[in-house]
Amino acid sequence: MDHVRQALEAGFFRETDTAILLYDLDRLEANVARLVRAFPERSLHAFAVKACPLPPILSFLAGLGLGAEAASLPEIHLALTAGFPPARIVFDSPAKTGEELRLALELGIYINADNLAELGRIAALAAATGVTPRAGLRVNPQAGVGGIKATSVAGRYSKFGVPLEQRALILDAFARYPWLGGLHVHVGSQGCPLDLLVAGVGAVFDLRRTIDRELGLGRITTFDLGGGLPAGYRDSDVPPTPAAYVAALTQRCPGLFTGDLALVTEFGRMVAAPCAVAASRVEYVKRQKGHRTAVIHLGADLFVRECYNPKSWPHRSLLLDPTGREKTGRAGIWHLAGPLCFSGDFPIRQARLPDIEPGDIVLVRDVGAYTLSMWSRYNSRQMPRILGVRQGRFAVLREREEPQDVVRFWLGREESV
C-alpha cells in the first residue's frame, strides 16, 4: 500500500495511467533467499519463466543465482536474453519440436523429455550432431489430484510424462540410452497440499532406487522435483514454507538430500506471486438494488483464471483514495468489474470494502505470478505500466502499451501505424 502511495507521489503512477503493476524486488529477493537456504547448496533452483516472463524480473533472478525453467522456445530465448547461462536452463515443454531439441542440445540446455518418443528423437539428434545430451525423463507419479483439477498433473491419467505404472518401459529407456541420467516429477501447482507433493516426489524417488538396483548404483545423477509450493491468496491461507517441504521430504525419502545427487527445483508461484500488487483507478460506480459495482481497468485481461474460475482463484483487495492512502469507514459488499465486454469479467465479486467513489484506487494483492504472463488480448486492451521498487527506489520495468503497440501486435510485424 505504501509503495503505491509513494509511486503516486514520485510521479511513477501517472495521471494517464489507468492501472499499474508494482513489484517489490526486496520481497522477491527475500523469497529467493529462504528457498536457497532450505535446500542443499548443490541444488539448481530453476525459476518457472511461465510464472512471470518479464525480462527485468528474470534478469534480477539470474543475478541472484537462480536458473530458469522454460516451457517453450520463446521462453528459452527470454531466459538467454535475461542472462541465464544455457547450463542453468531446464527445457520442459511437452511438445518439443525437432528444431527446438536441436537448439537445446547445441546450447547444452538440460532437457526433461516428456515421453518415450521424445527420447528417441533426442537420441537421433544426438547421433547426428555428436552432442551428448543432458537429459531426464518426466514420470507421472500417479499420486492423486489436488483441490484444483486444472492445475493437478499427477492423477491416474495426465497429459504429462510417462505413467509410473509403465515401469518396464521406463527401465528399458534407461537401459537403452546411457546418456539419460535424470528423473523429473511435478505433481501440480496451486491446490496441491504438502502431503500430495511429498507423495509424488517419494514415488519417483523410489523408482530411482529401482533403476539403480537394476542398472547400477549411481545411474541417476539428477533429480528434478518440479515446483508446486502454493501461494497464500486468502487471509486464512498458510502455505508451507520451503523449509517445511524439505523437512517432509527428508522423512519420506532421506536419500534425496544425501550423497552427490544433483537436485533441481522449478518454483514460480511461491517465489513471485506475493511480490506484486495491481492498482487500478475506479472509473465508474454503479448502484442498483442489492448490488454495488465499481468499474476498474483490469479484468479478465490480467485475471483470466480469476474471472473464469473465481472459487479456485481468489484475491485480497484494498481500497485507497486518489492519493494512495487507505480508505476507512464502514465496509460493504462491492463487485469489482473489469473493462471487458463479457458478463463474467469480475476479478473479485463480493469484496468487503469501504464506500467506493470514482477516482479511488483498488489494490489487488498477490499478482506477481500467473497473471501478467496469462494476459489476454480480448478487447485489445493496453497492458499497464509495470514498476519495480527496490530499497525505496522505483524503476519502470515495462512501459504501458500505447494503441499503436497493440495495432502492431495484431499486424504481426513492425510497421508504422
pTM score of the predicted model: 0.95
Q: Higher model confidence: residue 76 or residue 152?
A: 76
User: Looking at the predicted structure, is the pLDDT value of residue 417 above 60?
Assistant: no
Strands 222-224 and 180-184: parallel
User: Looking at the predicted structure, is the pLDDT value of residue 121 above 80?
Assistant: yes
For residues 3-25, give the mean pLDDT: 97
78 and 98 Cβ atoms separated by less than 8 Å:
no
300 and 258 Cβ atoms separated by less than 8 Å:
no
User: Looking at the predicted structure, is the pLDDT value of residue 374 above 90?
Assistant: yes
For residues 385-412, give the mean pLDDT: 97
The three cell numbers locating residue 383: 497492458
For residues 360-369, give the mean pLDDT: 98
User: Looking at the predicted structure, is the pLDDT value of residue 201 above 80?
Assistant: yes
| Sign of the CA dihedral running 150, 156, 161, 164 | positive
pLDDT band at 1 (very low <50, low <70, confident <90, very high): low
The three cell numbers locating residue 234: 486468502
User: Looking at the predicted structure, is the pLDDT value of residue 415 above 80?
Assistant: no
For residues 366-370, give the mean pLDDT: 97
The model's pLDDT over 40-97, given as tens digits with 9 standing for 90+, comes to 999 999 999 999 999 999 999 999 999 999 999 999 999 999 999 999 999 999 999 9
- State the average pLDDT for the chain: 95
User: Looking at the predicted structure, is the pLDDT value of residue 106 above 60?
Assistant: yes
Of 36, 38, 54, the C-alpha closest to 388 is 54
Instruction: Show Cβ contacts of residue 127 under 8 Å, excluding neighbours closer than 6 positions.
Output: none
Amino acid at 374: M
User: Looking at the predicted structure, is the pLDDT value of residue 414 above 90?
Assistant: no
For residues 231-244, give the mean pLDDT: 93
- How many CB atoms lie under 10 A from the CB of residue 191? 18
What φ, ψ does residue 15 adopt, rounded to 5°? -60, -30
In the chain the domains, ranked by start, together with CATH numbers, are 2-22+274-411 (2.40.37.10), 25-273 (3.20.20.10)
How would you list the strands of the sheet with 284-288, edge to edge?
Answer: 284-288, 291-295, 332-337, 348-353
Residue 24: alpha-carbon gap to chain centroid: 16
Alpha carbons 332 and 308: distance in angstroms, whole number: 24
Of 205, 200, 137, 134, the C-alpha closest to 172 is 137
Any idea which residue has 486444472 for its cell? 150
pLDDT value of position 416: 55
51 and 370 Cβ atoms separated by less than 8 Å:
yes
pLDDT band at 150 (very low <50, low <70, confident <90, very high): confident
User: Looking at the predicted structure, is the pLDDT value of residue 252 above 80?
Assistant: yes
